[in-house]
Amino acid sequence: MTSPEADYLIQLLRASLYQQRPDPAPDHLDWDLLYRLACRHAVEVMVYYAVLQLENPSQTVVAKLKECTCRQVMKDVTRDYEMDRILQAFEQAEIDCMPLKGYLMRKLYPKTEMRYMSDFDILADPSQLKTSRAILKQLDYEVYRYDSHHDIFYLKGFPMYVELHKVLIIGKLEDYFGIGFSRASLQDGARHIYQLSKEDYFIYIISHMAYHFAQGGIGVRPVLDIRVYLDHYQPEMDMEYIKKELEKNGLWTFASYLMELSAVWFLQQQGNDFLQQVADYILRSMVLGTKENSRVLEAARNYQEDGNYDTAKRKALWKIIFLPGEQMQLLYPVLKRHPVLFPACHLHRWIKILVCRKQNLRRLYDTATVANEEISQIKQMYKTMGVDHL
């Protein structure tokens, strides 16, 4: 069951989203825990605007939330300028591109800083990759990492990352979307900046959430995104088209549950026991899930109802030690052209872990000791949610 702090967090988010005064805080509320929850789910700004309406909040926590909010407001202004600068540079260089995720969602919130973002995701024509990289370097961005999914750059002297995506989404949903431009149209007045229709964008954000849910869970903010998007666009969207397209990928059940949960949390509709289980799981997570979730999922994926838990754990450990080919190719793009290098890349990965990321060794122990009951519960929840195929 959720805690009083988690329940009150949802109430504060609802009040902030709809510009209402929240109910007084419950007696004996742990304000420090509430603050930590807000940070875990990247909703500190929304919580700050809500607690300002309270009569006697913790002044220590209010001060922390105010500091977070002021910092995000300053970053929001700079990032807004930077994102427009990048898009205009791509437009002038005649590079087909499409801004993704937070860039669009933030504009639907009452204040853009409520939906702050740590990076700018942009799909760019992969055939023009060399030119795209050169433009970002000209704009004072430096290379952080290249991989087969995206190139990551950061702005000198400012915490602004740009993820230059080569496909709209990776994994088992990549075939449906392709690169992504085939489902898009040009923005008004633009020659090379694309956008998805309202329906296809909703399908995209659901698919993106499903991918992360299957990898390690999602936090509160993706559910918020669904509610905000539906509040703005549901009356004008073709929901039958959305249902049909999501059913093609086996994601309509997942989408239905998240839409229902968003209505329970933010429209105060009646829920049920299963939705409460999903809510508890999400509230225990972070924005894009947790490593604790992923270790259970690794075992759950390998557990068959007529098998045994020890076998599932051994298979999960093996996949951690020797990542599957698809994941290795994301880390080492050279493997697509030279698969003979797989052993060398596995060795390189483990040397890096032993030298620089020893904390990852904890994941092996956690996977080996995960409770059997936890595996069974997660397996059943993912099956019911309809994402066990991802």
124 and 214 together in one domain: no
Asked if the model's pLDDT at residue 283 lies above 60, the reply is: yes
Predicted confidence band at 258 (pLDDT cuts at 50, 70, 90)?
very high
Q: Quote the CA–CA distance of 12 and 14 in Å, as a whole number.
A: 5
Q: Which positions ≥6 away from 150 have C-beta within 8 Å?
A: 163, 164, 165, 166
Question: What pLDDT shows up at residue 306?
Answer: 46
Question: What pLDDT shows up at residue 316?
Answer: 63
236 and 255 together in one domain: yes
Instruction: Determine what percent of the chain is predicted with pLDDT higher than 70.
Output: 85
Predicted confidence band at 16 (pLDDT cuts at 50, 70, 90)?
very high
Predicted confidence band at 305 (pLDDT cuts at 50, 70, 90)?
very low
Q: Between 256 and 314, name the one with better pLDDT.
A: 256
Q: Identify the CA nearest to 146 among candidates 164, 120, 128, 171.
A: 164
Predicted confidence band at 286 (pLDDT cuts at 50, 70, 90)?
low
Q: Is residue 63 part of a domain?
A: no
DSSP sequence for 138-193: HTTEEEEEE-SSEEEEEETTS--EEEEESSS--GGGHHHHTTSGGGEEEPTT-SSB
Q: Is 188 left (phi over 0), alpha (psi -120 to 50) or beta?
A: beta
Supply the pTM of this predicted model: 0.84
92 and 123 together in one domain: yes
Asked if the model's pLDDT at residue 289 lies above 50, the reply is: no
Among 180, 195, 210, the domain boundary falls at 195
Q: Between 347 and 162, name the one with better pLDDT.
A: 162
Question: What pLDDT shows up at residue 288?
Answer: 45
241 and 207 together in one domain: yes
Neighbour tally for 175: CB within 10 Å:
8
83 and 162 together in one domain: yes
- Average pLDDT, stretch 119-135? 94
Each residue's pLDDT tens digit, 28-66:
999 999 999 999 999 999 999 999 999 889 999 999 999
Question: What pLDDT shows up at residue 212?
Answer: 87
Asked if the model's pLDDT at residue 161 lies above 60, the reply is: yes
Question: What pLDDT shows up at residue 172?
Answer: 76
Asked if the model's pLDDT at residue 88 lies above 90, the reply is: yes
118 and 136 together in one domain: yes
245 and 130 together in one domain: no
Q: What is the mean pLDDT of the chain?
A: 86
Q: Any idea what DSSP says for residue 22?
A: P
Predicted confidence band at 108 (pLDDT cuts at 50, 70, 90)?
very high
Question: What pLDDT shows up at residue 45?
Answer: 97
Question: What pLDDT shows up at residue 105?
Answer: 94
85 and 51 together in one domain: no
Question: What pLDDT shows up at residue 308?
Answer: 61
Among 263, 289, 315, the domain boundary falls at 289
CATH, residue 106: 3.30.460.40
Q: Quote the CA–CA distance of 299 and 313 in Å, as a whole number.
A: 5
Q: Quote the CA–CA distance of 234 and 201 in Å, as a whole number.
A: 12
Predicted confidence band at 1 (pLDDT cuts at 50, 70, 90)?
low
Q: Is residue 273 part of a domain?
A: yes
Each residue's pLDDT tens digit, 210-252:
988 887 789 999 999 999 999 999 999 999 999 999 999 899 9
Split into its structural domains, the chain has a count of 4
Q: Quote the CA–CA distance of 78 and 53 in Å, as a whole number.
A: 28
Each residue's pLDDT tens digit, 185-205:
999 999 999 999 999 999 999
Neighbour tally for 197: CB within 10 Å:
14
Question: What pLDDT shows up at residue 364?
Answer: 60
- According to DSSP, the β-strands at 119-124 and 161-165 are parallel
Q: Is residue 66 part of a domain?
A: no
- Average pLDDT, stretch 314-342? 75
Predicted confidence band at 352 (pLDDT cuts at 50, 70, 90)?
confident
Q: Is residue 26 part of a domain?
A: yes
201 and 279 together in one domain: yes
80 and 189 together in one domain: yes
49 and 17 together in one domain: yes
260 and 363 together in one domain: no
Question: What pLDDT shows up at residue 291?
Answer: 52
Q: Is residue 174 part of a domain?
A: yes
Question: What pLDDT shows up at residue 232?
Answer: 97
Instruction: Specify whether the CB–CB gap between 120 and 162 falls below 8 A.
Output: yes
Question: What pLDDT shows up at residue 366?
Answer: 63
Q: Is residue 300 part of a domain?
A: yes
Instruction: Specify whether the CB–CB gap between 141 and 162 falls below 8 A.
Output: yes
Q: Is residue 385 part of a domain?
A: no
Q: Is residue 390 part of a domain?
A: no
Asked if the model's pLDDT at residue 173 lies above 60, the reply is: yes
The domain of 210 spans: 197-289
Question: What pLDDT shows up at residue 213?
Answer: 87
